[in-house]
Amino acid sequence: MRRGLTLAVGLVMILTGCAPSSPEPSDGRLRVVATTTQVGEAARAVGGDEIRLTVLLRPGAEPHEFELTTAAAAAIERSDLILESGAGLERWLEGMLATIGGRDRLRDMSAGVPLRAPDDPAQADEVDPHWWLTAPNAIVLVEHVRDALSAARPDLASGFAERAAAYVTRLQAADVEIRRLMAEVPPGRRGIVTNHDAIGYFVAEYGLHLVGSVFPSLDVSSEPNPAQLAALADTIRSEGVTAIFSESAVNPRLAQAIAQESGARVVDDPLYTDSLGPPGSGAETLDGMLLHDARVIHDALTAG
């Protein structure tokens, strides 16, 4: 078992051509790996200084794919807990854990969240993995992180519970503000076009509707063909959609093309969907991300 693990990590080092990072001395803190920026932020907030946290994805990175680095493999190998977003997002992690072990340390943060089917019937056998994009679901995320950390370190549970409760209060306030903003959007203007099919949970929770997406899929692995792009441009015109929303982690090139074709405009300020924003963006927290997106959508749909 141990030997297989060392071999696998050694192979990764050869493939990436990196030197192994020196093993860090354990200081007794819980070593936690979080996959996405959203899970990482919840772990940072709830765990505070009492955990040693590694977040695999960087702000702005696309979470459907992940290129395993030596540092990531080493962090996973040394971890006490691995927190994943789940709902089929981290397929890249499955294969890795099967090789190097660690499935027993894996916790699925999407457990119990009502997952939605994708809008594209061709993907009917999948679920939409972007469940973190509502305040109620972000609250579930924070509570799952709290429970996972507390189960691993019951002696620290009161601190985890206190910080989680503070975060939940902030998310509840964000939820009220988002509903207030969306209530200002006239019913006839609630159609949304986004870059990829990432915003379905937000749309359903907050009374919008999805007219279409530039990449007609849950990830951005397959580019739309010219006929699909032309059909979307037609729909945008016929539904009177004026704004196409871009996303921080997705290339806006095709969105620009659709905008030209349809007469809509691409909203300059991207939505944070797959990733939180970088430090200082205001969208580097769960409530900050949701409020940012709500304000961008509100301003675009109520303009003019």
Nearest to Zn ion of 274, 284 (CB atom): 274
Q: Residue 249 CB, nearest distance to Zn ion (Å)?
A: 7
Measured between alpha carbons, how far is 189 from 241 in angstroms, rounded to an integer? Answer: 7
Residue nearest to Zn ion (CB): 274
Q: Residue 74 CB, nearest distance to Zn ion (Å)?
A: 27
Q: Residue 15 CB, nearest distance to Zn ion (Å)?
A: 26
Nearest alpha-carbon partner for 168 in 143, 149, 148, 202 = 143
- Amino acid in position 261: E
Nearest to Zn ion of 130, 146 (CB atom): 130
What tokens does 159 get? 């601190």
Nearest to Zn ion of 142, 218 (CB atom): 218
Q: Which stretch binds Zn ion (CB under 5 A): 13-21, 40-48, 93-101, 198-206?
A: 198-206
Could you write out the DSSP letters of every residue in 137-204?
Answer: HHHHHHHHHHHHHHHH-GGGHHHHHHHHHHHHHHHHHHHHHHHHHHHTS-GGG-EEEEEES--HHHHH
Q: Residue 145 CB, nearest distance to Zn ion (Å)?
A: 21
Q: Residue 63 CB, nearest distance to Zn ion (Å)?
A: 6
Q: Residue 219 CB, nearest distance to Zn ion (Å)?
A: 6
Instruction: Tell me, by CB under 5 A, how many residues bind Zn ion.
Output: 2
Single residue of 198, 203, 296, 301 touching Zn ion by CB under 5 A: 198
Nearest to Zn ion of 135, 198 (CB atom): 198
Q: If binding is defined by CB under 5 A, does position 293 make contact with Zn ion? A: no
Measured between alpha carbons, how far is 168 from 174 in angstroms, rounded to an integer? Answer: 10
Question: Locate tokens 């969208």: which residue?
Answer: 283
Contacts of 28 (CB under 8 A, 6+ apart): none
SS3 (DSSP) at 130? coil
User: Contact 5/26 with Cβ under 8 angstroms?
Assistant: no
Nearest to Zn ion of 193, 198 (CB atom): 198
Single residue of 84, 205, 274, 287 touching Zn ion by CB under 5 A: 274
Nearest to Zn ion of 108, 239 (CB atom): 108
Per CB under 5 A, residues contacting Zn ion are 198, 274
